Structure 1
Amino acid sequence: MYKNGLSYGKCTAIVLITHIVMLAAILLRGKYENPQQIIPLAVAVIGLDIVYCTVLKLFYKQMTYTLDFMLILLLNISVIFQSCFGSIGFSFKHYITCIVALVACQLGFLLTRNHMWIQSKKTALYIVLVVLMLSIIFLTGSRSMWINIGSISIQPSEFMKPVFVLLCATSIREQHAKKKILFFYISKEMIILSVAFVAIAGLQWWSRDLGSLPTFAAAYGCALACRLCYPKAKFSKKTIVGISVIGVIVIAAALKFAPGYVQDRLSVDIWNQMDGNGYQQCQALIAIAEGGLFGKGPGCGSLHNVFAYETDIVFSTICEEWGFLVALLTIVILMAMMLLPMINKPRSYFHTTMILGAVAVMIVQMGLNIFGSCNLIPFTGVTIPFISQGGSSMLTSGFLAGMLKAGQSPVFRKVEQKPVKASAAAKRKAAHR
């Protein structure tokens, strides 16, 4: 931790106290038959807090642990939420996915903290992206985004997000390797990345699942901005205006020629179709209103009877049982965890662009879920990072968090220079001496 910040022990105490207070709220306001129902949840949450904080202290040496503490704080809050929807229990499946997210965070941190190494693997990253896209085409079946293996469902498009963000990350060296094409100074690598984005957009369209497309567009937009706005990129106001106009035209065309199911979502009047296409959003809005500021109490809600209560409309479910204030505070914690790496200046240009892409993906994904629950936009079917249930989503979010962490504690390894062999003449001269 920083000298002027909280100590390691105080941060651990804050995490434990927050979760203990939430468990006490379940005991005082929750819907249960026997207080012993809370014991498995309490043991699991407090136990994970202690184990994770101890592992960090003993095995990880970093410049800052702020993101780690906020991550474990957020994940166990989500475990408490998911264990109380409809009745008090213990969501073991979600608990396991949270542990997977923690592991994925450390993996993402270790793999991306050395920017020179990860940049040397860009060809391999493009291969991984192509393999994931082909798996969607050939393994999902009937133009779907899910691969079903028994009772397990995998969503390859989620794994594409961190891969694409890493491909979007650039280095200063790439900014000086540009050629003028029409009116723009563009590197060859940017052209390849643009082709990859167009391919992803086409795949999303083909799969009839455009909900995740804005997250990829956000990462691509950050990559484009970082490349065009680099101090020596030779861009002008006309360039920015031209790109903005093109962007507006593309968005307008996409809305105009969107598939029928998208047009229905854009034009539906939910209150006139409360039993049809507007059912989910109506129930979500009613739940938010009934929950008020402080909620009905853990396990006392009814939104758990609605489809996707724990994923697509999880914000409304939290508002109903815990209240709008608790839901808002949770979002503030998530926002703080994402934005802190941007406040604390990253140590390399590569990590800067990587952090921007990762944050863009998570913020857009969170916004789509919350605004959809509040009927400000149509439902998109995306999850809130670290809050909603979902194994693929949780694994991806954890890896993205590790990328944010890598920007705060990077590793720079200098290329080892091989010793220069002395010439034969120099050896003879040294021998005569």
Structure 2
Amino acid sequence: MYKNGLRYGSCTAIVLLTHTIMLLAVLLRGNYDTPQDILPLTVAVIGLDIVYSIVLHFMYRQMTYTLDFVLLLLVNISVIFQSCFGGVGFAAKHYITCVIALVMCQIGFLLTRNHVWIKSNKLILYGILGAFILSILVLTGSRSMWINIGPISIQPSEFMKPVFVLICATSIREQHEKKKILFFYISKEMMILTGAFVVIVGLQWWCRDLGSLPTFAAAYGCALVCRLCYPKAKFSKKTIIVISIIGAVLVAAALKFAPGYVQDRLSVDIWNQMEGNGYQQCKALIAIAEGGLFGKGPGCGSLHKVFASDTDIVFSTICEEWGFLVALLAILILMAMMLLPMINKPRSYFHTTMILGCVAVMIVQMGLNIFGSCNLIPFTGVTIPFISQGGSSMITSGFLAGMLKAGQSPVFKKPEPKKKKLKTRKAVTAA
């Protein structure tokens, strides 16, 4: 039984019912030649629902499984979306990455639930982060974030996100060891973390890929706030004021000295450059407007002809074919998955910091994608977790979901048995 009273059968039934309704919508409103075209998609989605639910039941015990079912609900909704863009079929590649994401969720859960083990191996985390940075500098072959191996493209910067979040969460205990330098109390671990963040900023700047930089900044910001709010941390109003001023100056400097392509995105008038820099956003806005509340129907849209329709502007593609209400529902499910660990209160400050970092990364990615598609901010080209197509992004999102689950079901160091303590006392008395 779940902590909130829901049973396995009830949760499985809710997931199956939701996906069945969506598949019926594809059957009734979709763009396909024969009903047999929907059969592979139906078998894959319903089969994954049943198999994953059975695996969860027999795998291992934890405090709550609600997040697992919400994740299963979300990834199969994504499979249905991706299989209908431009005509109903079966997005096999996306389906495989979704299955890998579910596996990575379990791996992330098992690796991060024991904060004692994570803290004892934090040097390894810095080593892994350094290896990813080195791979970008050496293996990309140019100022790029992508490593191409035949038909496979890997983006190491995506894998850096969960590692950086874990690094942010590992040095909480060192807040007791702050030293006063001039007018501020500073910990060595915070200085090292800041140095790692500066290196990441420099790498993103050098690779001319600033789209994912806000996600790292969000994780670092959450870590900074958690350190300021640490129960025994020494800080003053001066510290907060100075940090705010430095942050504002850095943002202003970044905007002023940003590369030319960034400046163009900040100042572009999309409607006057519909065939130039504003092409994608114009098409995305038109697709949202044409889709309305209920959409044109699965596979009946035209935005799939635009570059990155299934990744960077996927929100607009869903709005066009499924309608704004369904797109909003998918986003609410994603937000519910992120909020679940906050409803079930984490049991350690480490897991609190880890959860906040994961949520910050996902929310910033989601916000940049949606607001960029709606032309509320400059187009950044980042993906929506679990919704957009992409191998590196999907694997990373799955691992982050596992970290969220680990915050709900942490593992702590077992206390020593009382019998051993009694024997020790007797030995001391005899001596």
**CA positional deviation for 1:374:** 0.3
Q: Deviations over 1:167-221 (max 9, x none)?
A: 0004653221111123322211111000000000000000000001000000000
State the one-letter code of the partner of 1:71.
L
Residue 414 (structure 1) shift = 2.6
Which residue of 2 is the match for residue 88 of structure 1?
88
> Aligned-pair distance for 1:342?
1.4
**Which runs of no fewer than 5 residues in structure 1 stay unpaired?**
none
1:3 Cα deviation after fit: 5.2
Q: Partners of 1:183 and 1:8 in 2: how far apart?
A: 55
State the 1:143 CA deviation.
0.3
- 1:173 equivalent in alignment to 2:173: yes
Name the residue aligned to 2:255: 255
Secondary structure, aligned partner of 1:185:
strand
Distance 1:22 1:6 in 2: 23
Percent identity (aligned): 82
CA distance in 1 between counterparts of 2:264 and 2:198 reads 25
Paired residue secondary structure (1:38): helix
Q: What residue in structure 2 maps to residue 103 of structure 1? A: 103
1:6-45 superposed matches below 5 A: 6-45=6-45
**Mapped partners of 1:172, 1:219: distance in 2:** 14
What's the CA shift for 1:242? 1.7
Shift of 1:383: 0.3
Instruction: Work out whether residues 140 and 146 of structure 1, in 8 Å CA contact, stay in contact via their aligned partners in 2.
Output: yes
Classify the secondary structure of the residue corresponding to 1:227. helix
| Aligned amino acid, residue 6 of structure 2 | L
Contact 1:293 1:325 in 2 (8 A): yes
Cα distance, 1:300 vs structure 2:
0.1
Q: How many angstroms does 1:404 deviate by?
A: 0.2
What secondary structure sits across from 2:180 in the alignment? strand
- Tell me whether 372-381 or 183-192 shows the greater mean CA deviation: 183-192
Query: Which amino acid counterpart does residue 179 of structure 1 have in structure 2?
Result: K
- The question of whether the paired residues in 1 share the 8 Å contact of 2:30 and 2:88 is answered with yes
Matches of 1:414 and 1:294, distance apart in 2: 54
Residue 76 of structure 1 is matched in structure 2 by 76
The one-letter code matched in structure 1 to 2:93 is K
Aligned AA for 1:142? Answer: S
1:392 aligned residue: 392
Write out per-residue CA displacement over residues 260-315 of structure 1, whole angstroms, 9 at most, x where no aligned residue.
00000000000000000100000000000000000000000000000000000000
Matched-pair contact (CA < 8 Å) for 2:45–2:76:
yes
Show the counterpart of 2:161.
Answer: 161
* Counterpart for residue 406 of structure 1: 406
| Structure 1 SS opposite 2:235 | coil
Contact 1:294 1:324 in 2 (8 A): yes
- Could you tell which deviates more after superposition, 285-294 or 183-192? 183-192
Determine the structure 2 residue equivalent to 1:315. 315
AA in 1 matched with 2:318: I
Distance across 1 between alignment mates of 2:185 and 2:339: 30
Give the structure 1 partner of residue 359 of structure 2.
359
With structure 1 as the length reference, what TM-score do the two structures score?
0.95
Name the SS for the 1:145 alignment partner: coil
Q: Does 1:303 align with 2:288?
A: no
In structure 2, the partner of 1:372 is 372
Question: In the TM superposition, what whole-angstrom CA distance separates every residue of 1:88-141 from its partner, at most 9, and x where no partner exists?
Answer: 000000000000000100000000011100111100000000010010001001
Structure 1 position 131 matched with structure 2 position 131: yes
Matching of residues 54-73 of structure 1 within 5 Å: 54-73=54-73
Partner secondary structure for residue 153 of structure 2: strand
Whether the 8 Å CA contact 1:171–1:349 is kept in 2: the answer is no
Structure 2 match to 1:346? 346
Alignment check: 8 A CA contact 2:125 2:167 kept: yes
- Give 1:60 deviation, angstroms: 2.1
> In the aligned structure 2, how far is the partner of 1:312 from the partner of 1:171?
34
Alpha-carbon spacing, 1:269–1:18, altered in 2? closer, same or farther (3 Å): same
Task: State the distance in 2 between where 1:205 and 1:21 align.
Answer: 45
The alpha-carbon deviation at position 4 of structure 1 amounts to 4.5
Residue 234 of structure 1 deviates from its aligned partner by 2.0
Aligned partners of 1:158, 1:184: CA distance in 2, in Å? 34
Counting only pairs closer than 5 Å after superposition, residues 209-224 of structure 1 correspond to structure 2 as 209-224=209-224
Whether 1:276 aligns to 2:276 is yes
Question: 2:149 and 2:220 mapped to 1: Cα distance?
Answer: 31
Aligned residues: 426
For 1:43-87, what per-residue CA distance to the aligned partner results, in whole angstroms no more than 9, with x for missing partners?
Answer: 000000000010001112110001000000000000000000000
| Cα offset, 1:244, TM superposition | 1.0
Query: Residue 271 of structure 1 aligns to a residue in which SS?
Result: coil
Residue 2 of structure 1: CA displacement? 3.7
Question: How far apart are residue 6 of structure 1 and its match?
Answer: 1.9
Residue type of the partner of 1:353? Answer: T
CA distance in 2, matches of 1:189, 1:359: 22
Whether the 8 Å CA contact 2:15–2:73 is kept in 1: the answer is yes
Query: CA 1:55–1:144 in 2, change beyond 3 Å: closer, same or farther?
Result: same
Q: Deviations over 1:235-262 (max 9, x none)?
A: 2222212211111110000000000000
1:384 shift after superposition: 0.2
- Conserved 8 A contact 2:3-2:64: no
- Contact in 1 for aligned 2:291/2:320 (Cα 8 Å): yes
Deviation at 1:378, TM superposition (A): 1.1
Q: 2: distance between equivalents of 1:381 and 1:8? A: 38
* Range that drifts further, 164-173 or 290-299: 164-173
Supply the distance in 2 between the matched residues of 1:383 and 1:56 (Cα, whole angstroms).
Answer: 28
Q: Distance in 2 between matches of 1:295 and 1:184?
A: 56
Q: What RMSD over aligned residues (CA atoms) do the two structures have, in Å?
A: 1.8
Distance 1:200 1:333 in 2: 31
Distance across 2 between alignment mates of 1:180 and 1:326: 53
TM-score by length of 2: 0.96
Q: Secondary structure at the match of 1:153?
A: strand
Amino acid paired to 1:36: Q
Q: Which runs of 5+ in 2 are unaligned?
A: none
